[in-house]
Structure 1
């Protein structure tokens, strides 16, 4: 029986060695897998941070472009309603009406020419000498006179 017990102990020892080797291999495999999982988690976290930063930059750029678009829309609306546009239209209508009157009414042309020369002289006097000084002085105190003088410059 001693031989059987020795073979039994040797078999038990071999079995324990195989079990110990398998167990150690499992520990090493588990630790390498944990390291790999940790590396993958770090990489995933880094990728998510980069994506979040990129998304924030895109949102910021989108907000900036929206504001710029709104400002441009307001500028276009303002320029299309710019003061002076209606006055220019009125001036063109009056010019057309005067041309029609000159053609249809022969007596109108000389009276118109005299009135035109008189108006030109008056405007020249207004732009030179004391009249501009008086007009500027009244412009400071009278808002209505200020808007009239600004329309004359347009």
Structure 2
């Protein structure tokens, strides 16, 4: 034991012990940092893998939605090519244009309403069989397609159905027909 006390009494041994202590602490800190860095790298690679999977799923979903969108666009184009759909679309376009012109153009509303009323009367007359082509076709092909009272009255020489009119009220004799 005297030799051990004599050994630790020398400054070189104290320096060596202190140096070894710092070396051990430094090495332990280094390995601890290395282990933490390895853990962070693993965490980062796992996160990148998950994000890559999510990105792939989102990309596939986007491609599917893009294909579906293109298919729907083509389908709408095909449906718009059908005559009845084209007529309905044209009717909607004209209806929207009418509303816009009625609101924006000051003199357009009155002229439009009179033209519209005349067109409605003309269509009503055609529906009741008063148009020349319809009268000719019903006389040539017989009474098999006639379903309205006005058509049978025209074929038999009658005056047709009586349409009741509204009584005039004071101040209503402006000459314009009410909008329909």
Match of 2:139 in 1: 114
| Matched residue, 2:126 | 99
User: How far apart are 1:50 and its partner, in Å?
Assistant: 0.9
Inter-partner Cα distance in structure 1 for 2:80 and 2:138: 34
CA distance, structure 2, for counterparts of residue 111 and residue 28 of structure 1: 110
Residues in 1 aligned to 2:52 and 2:58: alpha-carbon distance in whole angstroms: 10
- Structure 2: state its 5+ residue gaps: 1-5, 89-121, 146-180
Shift of 1:109: 6.5
- Count of residue pairs brought into register by the alignment: 107
Which has the larger share of helix?
1
Q: How does 1:31-70 map to 2 (within 5 A)?
A: 31-70=31-70
**TM-score computed with the length of structure 1 as normaliser:** 0.56
Query: Deviation at 1:86?
Result: 7.1
Matching residue of 1:146: none
* 1:79-106 deviation per Cα after TM superposition (whole angstroms, max 9, x unaligned): 0102566799xxxxxx95x929x6475x
Residue 13 of structure 2 corresponds to: 13
Alpha-carbon distance in structure 2 between the residues aligned to 1:7 and 1:111: 137
User: Using the alignment, how far apart are the partners of 2:42 and 2:86 within structure 1?
Assistant: 67
Compared CA separation, residues 43 and 109, structure 1 to 2 (3 A): closer
Q: Shift of the alpha carbon at 1:116?
A: 3.9
User: Any gaps of 5 or more consecutive residues in structure 1?
Assistant: 1-5, 89-94, 121-154
TM-score by length of 2: 0.48
State how far apart, in whole Å, the 1-side matches of 2:37 and 2:134 are.
98
Alignment of structure 1 residues 115-130 onto 2, 5 Å: 115-117=140-142
Q: CA deviation at 1:9?
A: 6.5
